[in-house]
Amino acid sequence: MITSKKWLTAGALCVAAMGAQAQVNQVRVWAAACANCHGTMGKAEPGMESLAGKDKDELLQKMLDFKTGKKPATIMHQLSKGYTDEQLAQISAYFSALKK
Ligand code: HEC
């Protein structure tokens, strides 16, 4: 027989797991906004920068430089301003983990 305390523990673990899953899905939603230009799953058509498999810190630095205007851009300076630094870090980690 399972005690109610065990059920509580199982319930708490389940909620924690769902929270982590929701976070992953959120990053995917942000990353999907990049797919139009940088390709599905970060693999771009020739002539456009692919994001998949790039170094995480390099991606983040570029995004932050776009945001501050340090790196010249036609569009990315606008887009990068739509995300917090923390969100950009998560997006960078997401793309760097994808296969080239
Ligand atoms: C409307 C098209 C468009 C979308 C959407 C877009 N980008 Fe870009 N991206 C560009 C263009 C164009 C450049 C080249 C710099 C410029 O002119 O702004 C670029 C450049 C970059 C670079 C620098 C590549 C390099 O090595 O120089 C990174 C990193 C990047 N984008 C990341 C992203 C991320 C992450 C997203 C989603 C949050 C995104 N982009 C969404 C068009 C887009």
Cα angle for residues 12, 16, 18 (degrees, 5° grid): 115
12 pLDDT exceeds 90?
no
* 82, two tokens: 């739509």
Which residue puts its alpha carbon closest to atom 2 of ligand 1? 37
Distance from residue 76's CA to the centre of ligand 1 (Å): 5
Name the residue type at position 69.
Answer: G
Distance from residue 19's CA to the centre of ligand 1 (Å): 29
Q: Which is higher by pLDDT, 18 or 89? A: 89
* 13, two tokens: 């673990």
Summarised one tens digit per residue, pLDDT across range 14-70 is 777 878 888 778 999 999 999 999 999 899 999 999 999 999 999 999 999 999 999
3 pLDDT exceeds 80?
no
- Residue whose entry in the numeric block shows the structure tokens 């929701």: 22
Q: Integer distance in angstroms from the first to the last C-alpha of the chain?
A: 50
- Rounded Cα–Cα distance for residues 84 and 56 (Å): 16
